[in-house]
Amino acid sequence: MELLLKNNIEINCKAKPKELVIRDIGRKLYESGYVEASYIEAMLLREESFSTNIGNGIALPHGIEAAKKSIKQSGIAVMVFPEGTDWGSEKVKLVIAVAGIGEEHLEILSNIADKLSDIENVIEVINSGVDKIYEILTGK
């Protein structure tokens, strides 16, 4: 299975509490077979201890270190909030859940940060359809 499936990209999401966003996006990872259900709770624990908001209107929720064993295969899921959704200190428009096995975790985070370090790329993703977002994030 590849890192990102098109059906794990959801656009035009409506704002909702951060906990619900994490549960929804975590469910995508679970239902696609990337993680066990317990990974969703680990994502919520990570968020309680350290915000996954990385700036530029992006949040990268992921599980705590102890949840690594809950990951079956590395994968990501994407939710786009054109109007933004509250992420504590600011609104975010792009939420990308990350589940990475071993060293792949840092590689995935690094690739996402690299692709989305330019605000122009972030704006393009927020304003794109599923196919274009898939292309931007996977290079395919």
Per the listing, tokens 């504590």 go with 88
C-alpha pair distances (Å), 41 with each of 24, 98, 129: 12, 14, 29
Mind listing the pLDDT tens digit for each residue in 3-32?
Answer: 999 999 999 999 999 999 999 999 999 999
pLDDT the model gives residue 93: 97
Tell me the whole-structure pTM to 2 decimals: 0.95
Bridge partner residues of 9 (DSSP) = 78
Domains of the chain, start order? 6-138 (3.40.930.10)
- 51-81 pLDDT tens trace: 999 989 999 999 998 899 999 999 999 999 9
Catalytic center residues: 62
Q: Are 4 and 76 in contact (CB under 8 A)?
A: yes
> How big is the chain, counted in residues?
140
DSSP per-residue string spanning 89-120:
SSEEEEEEEEE--TTHHHHHHHHHHHHTSSHH
Segment 75-133, tens digit of pLDDT: 999 999 999 999 988 899 999 999 999 889 889 988 898 889 889 999 999 999 999 99
